[in-house]
Amino acid sequence: MDLMEYKAKELFDKYEIPTQKGIVIEDVSDLASKALNLTFPLVAKAQVQIGGRGKAGGIKFASNTDELLEVSKSILGMDIKGHIVKKLLIVEKAEVSKELYLSIMLDRLSKKPMIIFSSEGGVDIEEVARLTPEKVMKVSIDPLIGIKDYIIRYLISKSGLNNSLYEQMFDIVKKLYTLFCEYDCMLTEINPLVITAENKILALDGKVSIDDNALSRQPDILEFRDSLTEDELVLEARKFNFLYIPCEVDGNIAVMSNGSGMIMSCIDLISKQGMKVGVGFDLGGGATAERIAEAVRIVLSNKNIKALFITIFGGITRCDEVATGIKMAMEKHEEDKLLVVRVEGTNKEKGLEIINSIKGQIISVDNIREGVSVLAARRELK
């Protein structure tokens, strides 16, 4: 779960990581009451869950009240790569003398948190890492030891920063690591982390990404997730504890299965035939007929989907249960869409009998390859 900048800033503020004073507005009418205590010049930044907002015009400066109203009007409601701007973060502009980069991420290779630090931060950090990798330092944190002073000494010494920044750096890294651990983060990133004209270190922009598996113990983040306007079908599926995975925007095939591994291998096979998958749908384990019926309904209500490939390897899930669920959905909704069904495992024969009794465009196949061939034979799916 990726957090927007304003939410990351809230967390930074909570952990007393120094940031710029700012406000969040959803409507220009909020400006009058909320912006009173801010000192111009200000920066207005679109809050969207996608990168590249600066280039899209989502970040603007204002040096007085009139300008602030004008830029706020122009950014709120803006469409950035399909994301409508609903929130605007307005902060005081900092006097920057140097931009740094600091992040802590969970490194899959070492299976430890890793600090990434560069004294040349800013929007071009990926370029810096590519062209001059020696300017980007990576330091592993032993989770059983945590952040100790030698880590900070290393960062400062190796990057050539002035030693007078030691106290501030130690403070920020330590707080960022505490946030990283307490909020089950996959990533906490500050870019740029700036040194101001007064030699103060400030977090100007932040990204925080939180482990989805830990949301149940992070109630405030769970609330934030549910407040986001997402694909309605994703939310609808979530109600039933299903995972609805939007894939290619112009995909017209949906793949439903009881495990993400099988979904991935089906998408691979379908893509290889030049077709596009629009939706992956993970039922998880132990689906009942009623739940299968809901799942089929949700997927087929996506207007772009022309065909649904259901492939179930029932160990504990019974094939007759799956078939009954499909039948319930098909009879109730009478969708004229192609269903290709492959069931394997417990009570397969009984399941096939039920599938054969379903009216409409439904084809049962014996294995995944056969299912993909059936789809590939349909010209309208290419």
Residues assigned a catalytic role: 101, 189
Q: Does 44 bind other proteins (CB under 8 A)?
A: no
Q: Does 316 bind other proteins (CB under 8 A)?
A: yes
- Residue of 100, 102, 107, 101 whose CA lies nearest to 186: 107
Q: Does 204 bind other proteins (CB under 8 A)?
A: no
Closer Cβ to other proteins, 311 or 324, answer by number:
311
Question: Using an 8 Å Cβ cutoff, are 85 and 48 in contact?
Answer: yes
- Residue of 314, 248, 339, 241 whose CA lies nearest to 284: 241
Task: Show the site string, 319-358: x = touches other proteins by CB under 8 A, - = not.
Answer: -------------------------xxx------------
Q: Which of 259, 304, 376, 378 binds other proteins (CB under 8 A)?
A: 259
Q: Does 114 bind other proteins (CB under 8 A)?
A: yes
Q: Does 257 bind other proteins (CB under 8 A)?
A: yes
Burial of 39 per CB tally in 10 Å (0-12, 13-18, 19+): exposed
Q: Which of 81, 112, 148, 332 binds other proteins (CB under 8 A)?
A: 112
Binding segment for other proteins (CB under 8 A), chosen from 29-37, 61-69, 70-78, 100-108, is 100-108
Task: Show the site string, 269-308: x = touches other proteins by CB under 8 A, - = not.
Answer: xxxx----x--x---x------------------------
In the complex, least distance from residue 153 CB atom to other proteins, rounded to whole angstroms = 22
Q: Does 54 bind other proteins (CB under 8 A)?
A: no
Chain residues binding other proteins by CB under 8 A are 2, 49-51, 101, 103, 105-109, 111-114, 116, 125-126, 129-130, 136, 138, 142-144, 181, 184, 186-187, 189, 191, 207, 209, 211-214, 216-217, 245-248, 257-262, 264-265, 267-272, 277, 280, 284, 313-316, 344-346, 367-369
